Amino acid sequence: MRQIFLDTETTGLSAEGGDRVIEIGCVELFNRKLTGNNLHFYLNPERDSHEDALKVHGISNEFLRDKPKFAQVAQEVIDYLRDAEVIIHNAAFDIGFLNKELERVGQAPFTSHVSNVIDTLVMAKQMYPGKRNSLDALCDRLGVDNSGRTLHGALLDAELLADVYINLTRGQEALMMEISDDQPKHQTDLQIDLSSYQLPVLRANDNELTAHEDLLKQLDKSSGGKTVWRNLGASLAH
């Protein structure tokens, strides 16, 4: 599966109010492994950043003056993201800005170019209700090193997000299988033949069987002898 972790930096908080994207950072995973095929652009937003935004990302207006405008990179961004599963932290914010940028250049909305979007903020709120679930908070909670993040940066944040996501979904790692080097990296509908694999049967030892029987007896006693398995066993014996 091809997954893209995406983050943006902007001139402010309101896409509808005219704020623009100034940085796009994307990190690619294929079958839960980093590929190094990342995408990163600084963009000329054709306006200055708000003072509060400058304090967050530290990207000066002067630095962006000679950078390409979104219209110049739009097709490359679309081609890179096409049909991928895109993972974003607080997706509504980034997609809102990207939709406005795509609208300006006559392109369809963001979600029409990708297979689906996963919002790690939504995931985190479900997993850690009532707790802080910012990217920094998740890095701290999951042991992801974010010591280099003194300011926000789209590519760095996308890299941290990939690490956070792998940790959030760590239980899936055992389900992933390596593919051969000659497998096309763009293929996402892999068919894996498992018929040659034999799963071992781990039988309980005597101590485990005894402990299990003791537990069943306790449950049977607490229910007044009304446990289903005892009644079923008795009926089968007759």
Q: Look at residues 2, 33, 24, 10 and name the one whose alpha carbon lies nearest to residue 76.
A: 24
Q: How far apart are CA 140 and CA 152, in angstroms?
A: 16
Catalytic residue among 57, 152, 212, 238: 152
Per-residue DSSP letter, 68 = P
Rounded distance, CA 149 to CA 155, Å? 11
- CA 27 to the chain's CA centroid: 11
Using CA atoms, how far apart are residues 93 and 97, in angstroms rounded to an integer? Answer: 7
Cα 154 to Cα 95: distance, rounded to the nearest angstrom: 14
DSSP string, 143-175: T---TT-SS--HHHHHHHHHHHHHHHTGGGGGG
| Contact assessment for residue 164 and residue 135, using Cβ atoms and an 8 Å cutoff | yes
Whether the Cβ atoms of residue 102 and residue 74 lie closer than 8 Å to each other? yes
Q: Catalytic annotation on 113?
A: no
Residues 94, 9: Cα–Cα separation, whole Å: 8
Q: What are phi and psi of 95, to 5 degrees?
A: -65, -35
Catalytically annotated residues: 152
